[in-house]
Structure 1
Amino acid sequence: MHQAIVNLVGGHAPICISFDQGQDATIYDLKERITTLTKVNRVNQSISTMGGQLLTDEAFMFNQQQEGPTIFNMSLRLLGGKGGFGSMLRAQGGRMNAQKTTNFEACRDLQGRRIRTVNEAKKLQDELDALPERERERREKTQKKIEEGLKGVEQKKYRFDDTQFLEDREQMVDNVKSAVGSLLKKQQSKQQKKKVVTAVSFDMFDDEEDSEEEDNSDEQEVSEEEEVKSSNKRKRNDDDNNDTKSKKKTTNKKRK
């Protein structure tokens, strides 16, 4: 005898159904026995194995070599359907597969870190490792520039064979020297003439002073004779002479 244990829905206890040893029982027979026991219509029953595989009515329940009871799960069919939702999901899945991306930086690794953070840490470490090498290259470039600057530019030597240019150059230099010499001579002659004129002017002033002294001596003689004649006239003449002397001195000073 074969036994089938069926787990019912709704929290009901499972039921045990027995079949004869030689009988080839099918799922259809199992559903008929369940209908008689639970009053659930065979059409609304859905039988599946413990692994979740759905069984049809024509499938056999037992294996001839199987020992012990066979366990089944019973569920009820639901009204309605997917209504094209499955095809929509399949189409959406196709579109999602077409738009494949290679950017997985927002994902996390096994340690729970963002892949973006891990990649940035690697880049930073690479930059730090390459920093001494870049610094060495920069120093080498700077040293090379300094050495090239110290060497300087090699001056090319040119041979000048234009004799006419050299002759013209010498002639121009001679003309400049002669012009400068003549100008200096003219300036010296002008200075000598100025010295002569000043010397002549000083001599003229000296002659005028001598003539004034002679006139003064003559007047003094006349005044002495007049003093002999009369004292009154002498006094007057002395006053006049004093006035004239003072005037002449002022004029001489002005001339000087």
Structure 2
Amino acid sequence: MSASDTDTPLHYWRDGSVAHIRFNRPSVLNAIDIPTAHAFLDACRSAHDDASVRAVVISGEGRAFVAGGDLAALAHDPVETAREIIAAMHGGIALLAAMQAPVLASLHGVVAGGGLGIALACDLAIAAEGTRFKLAYVNIGASADCGTSWALPRLVGMRKAMEIALLGETFDAEEALRLGLVNRVVPAERLQEETARLVQRLADGPTLALGRLKHAIRASHNRDLEAQLDAEAADFIACASSRDFVEGVSAFRDKRLAGFEGR
């Protein structure tokens, strides 16, 4: 797709079993206004409700992933505009966490404010060299949204989360990798290729098992060990009754690659 604004602030499409969500306001670095927020919620709902989706990739058109909220849109009526944007964005982020399919963020350019929140809400993240990250909220006199205050301390620890949030400083992709905010950093010219390769690997995997794993890991912070052990047992039994488990065991015994169907 070309890096130009259209009347659609976000594109959603399917490529086989992979769903794509791409922010499409490149002239403002994909800053989030009310129409963008509602389009994001609609796209997340489409991916969540489609059982044939086995992986999701979120990206941004043009020179950035997402540069945060659209300050021009917020300037006119900040309270009501913020209320509407946040409600839609939070609804979408909750759906990303709830869906069975794994979600991959493909990051480049600027990842700031709510854009960082979207990236952290994904299950995995890949970033191009040269990507710049910034929480940014304190620079405009605001607190956080899009789940950043939940995800940051879980990923980087309380002290580092405080530094990122309270100082609002910019850091690069290598630092994001060191902190565990992204999984891989690749040359910018290889970002699309590596994104496609990684998301296809996820889409070809045992979707039920991936979904159970994703939810178990996310829930582990809120459970004690005994509760987590019980959840693991229930998840494994559920997977053991799936066609993918039968195929996985058979492939292991036959010394061949498994052909998972996602059921």
TM-score normalised according to structure 2 size = 0.16
Structure with more of its chain in strand, by fraction? 2
Q: Which has the larger radius of gyration?
A: 1
Greater fraction helix: 1
**Which structure has more RCO (C-alpha within 8 Å, separation ≥ 6)?**
2
State TM-score, norm by structure 1.
0.17
